[in-house]
């Protein structure tokens, strides 16, 4: 992918803030900036990594008073010459400065193009590039720390180490097949089995850690289920901290799903409130019930809300029967009213599930619910120094492909197949790992990845 054009974009949010930054990168970054900047010195004479005070002009018309940073390649984010114009914040003035830069020779950058250039120019690998977006999009401490860990090259180093081990075996097989008189394959199967066992364990650990990492970084997909008027919407409003859902004594008020993302004592929950589940002849309500079950089947956690002021009926039994194998917390709501269903009744109906007595109306039981979610999903302490967490689905798919190729090698070894069979699947494994860090990756895939980035990054 050849890079020649000089690009520019606004690198900060376009709003009425104190400062905005416009970034320029490419061979013409400094000459373009010199055409519009007036300060004590010409930027072409400035030392790298220095900041200069002056003004931006479009022809003879002054646009703004600015500070301009000069960073010469290869010691810059993109490895190219980079200029950053720090102007006053505000949508109009920021756009005027960018328009002036573009009119003097730069091209408007595509989403993620600065980071894409850092990748294409070899400053970072693809896992680090994706970590940049992970840092920007992080919604909790784990997501931020996992992305920073990847940004520092932890995934890159591990992948390179595993690829080197594979490459040595591939090279040895090829050499032995080309020169069998001088290079022997005696005892090679035992060495191959040892490597397979080692790498399979490492691949499996990375894939297992993905689910844990995904939940911690993206949040626990939590579906609130229950019969009509059990207090599901009241619970949602309590968790969100505002009147997000309509609460009414009329059964069936909620007809469709309602989604919210919250941070509950450091736990990110992607909460989905659903329609009340019951047998009904109403076609609209039936659709709501169907959607409730569909969401429940995709959930990490189900919060099943039961109205303690009513007796358990066939609807409860049907719900429990269909979801008994899922991760579930049962809430006995309306604890402030006279009980017709007890904790013991629910524990008998749903054994091996935690049952918590709450009152969504009076905000009772939220602490117990929080502690139970922590116990279910955040029990293990994260040690980034000793563990690698893959939180990117694309990277996990590549590792899964590598794992499956290695299983084929294992099968060939067990069946005592000729060594050239090993080489084919070992090479596939090697290439799948390479895709994690951006080696052997098609240009259209690279474009798709960086198209998801924000503008100016």
Residue 52 contacts residue 40 (beta carbons within 8 Å): yes
Q: Which of 316, 343, 450 is nearest to 394 (CA)?
A: 450
pLDDT digits (tens, 9 = 90+) for 43-69: 999 999 999 999 999 988 999 999 999
**Class at the top of the CATH hierarchy for domain 219-377:** alpha beta
Answer yes or no: are the C-beta atoms of 449 and 436 closer than 8 Å. Answer: no
**120-141 burial code (b ≥16 CB/10 A, e <16):** bbebbbbbbbbbbbbbeebebe
CATH number of 7-124: 3.30.1360.120
Q: Is the pLDDT of residue 71 over 70?
A: yes
How confident is the model at residue 80, as a pLDDT? 96
Per-domain residue ranges of the chain:
7-124, 131-214+387-450, 219-377
Mean pLDDT of 294-315: 86
**Tokens 């002056």, located at residue:** 54
Locus of tokens 């358990």: 312
pTM over 0.75: no
How much is the pLDDT for 380?
A: 54
CA–CA distance, 292 with 282 (Å, rounded to integer):
15
Mean pLDDT of the chain: 84
Pairing of strands 267-273, 258-264: antiparallel
Between 19-28, 135-144, 166-175, 205-214, the lowest mean confidence (pLDDT) is in 135-144
pLDDT top residue among 103 and 372 = 103
| pLDDT at 381 exceeding the cut of 70 | no
| Contact assessment for residue 433 and residue 163, using Cβ atoms and an 8 Å cutoff | yes
Distance of alpha carbon 218 from alpha carbon 129, whole angstroms:
18
- Residues 212, 216: Cα–Cα separation, whole Å: 6
**Nearest C-alpha neighbor of 304 from the set 246, 367, 372:** 372
pLDDT band at 449 (very low <50, low <70, confident <90, very high): confident
Q: Tokens representing 214?
A: 């995904």
**β partners of residue 39:** 54
Sign of dihedral through CA atoms 141, 302, 357, 379? Answer: negative
CATH class in words for 131-214+387-450: mainly alpha
Structure confidence at residue 387 (pLDDT): 67
């Amino acid at each position: 992918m050849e890079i020649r054009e000089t690009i520019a974009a606004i690198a900060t949010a376009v709003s009425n803030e104190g400062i905005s930054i416009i970034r320029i990168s490419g061979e013409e970054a400094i000459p373009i900036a010199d055409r519009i900047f007036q300060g004590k010195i010409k930027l072409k004479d400035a030392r790298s990594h220095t900041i200069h005070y002056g003004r931006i002009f479009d022809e003879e018309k002054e646009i703004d008073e600015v500070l301009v940073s000069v960073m010469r390649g290869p010691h810059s984010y993109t490895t190219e010459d980079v200029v950053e114009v720090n102007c006053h914040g505000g949508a109009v003035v920021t756009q005027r400065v960018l328009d002036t830069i573009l009119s003097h020779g730069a091209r408007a950058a595509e989403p993620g193009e600065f980071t894409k250039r850092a990748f294409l120019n070899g400053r970072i690998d693809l896992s680090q590039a994706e970590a940049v977006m992970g840092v920007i999009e992080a919604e909790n401490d784990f997501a931020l720390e996992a992305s920073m860990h990847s940004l520092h090259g932890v995934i890159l180093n591990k992948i390179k180490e595993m690829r080197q081990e594979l490459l040595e075996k591939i090279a040895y097989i090829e050499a032995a097949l080309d020169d069998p008189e001088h290079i022997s394959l005696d005892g090679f199967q035992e060495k191959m089995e040892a490597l397979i066992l080692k790498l399979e364990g490492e691949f499996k650990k990375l894939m297992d850690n993905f689910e844990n990492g995904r939940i911690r970084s993206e949040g626990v997909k939590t579906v609130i289920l229950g019969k009509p008027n059990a207090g599901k919407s009241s619970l949602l409003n309590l968790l969100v901290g505002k009147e997000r859902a309509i609460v009414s004594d009329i059964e069936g008020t909620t007809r469709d799903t309602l989604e919210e993302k919250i941070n509950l004592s450091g736990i990110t929950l992607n909460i989905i409130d659903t329609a009340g589940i019951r047998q009904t002849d109403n076609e609209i309500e039936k659709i709501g019930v169907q959607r409730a079950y569909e969401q429940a089947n995709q959930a990490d956690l189900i919060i099943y809300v039961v109205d303690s002021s009513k007796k358990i009926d066939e609807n409860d039994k049907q719900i429990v029967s269909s979801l008994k194998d899922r991760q579930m917390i049962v809430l006995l709501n309306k604890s402030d009213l006279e009980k017709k269903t007890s904790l013991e009744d629910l524990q008998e109906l749903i054994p091996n599930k935690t049952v918590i007595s709450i009152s969504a109306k009076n905000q009772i039981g939220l602490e117990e619910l929080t502690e139970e979610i922590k116990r279910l999903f955040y029990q293990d302490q994260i040690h980034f120094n000793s563990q690698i967490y893959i939180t990117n689905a694309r990277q996990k798919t590549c590792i899964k492909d590598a794992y499956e190729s290695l299983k084929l090698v294992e099968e060939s070894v067990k069946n005592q197949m000729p060594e050239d069979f090993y080489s084919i699947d070992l090479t596939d494994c090697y290439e799948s790992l390479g895709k994690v860090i951006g080696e052997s990756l098609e240009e259209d895939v690279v474009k798709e990845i960086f198209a998801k980035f924000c503008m100016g990054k």
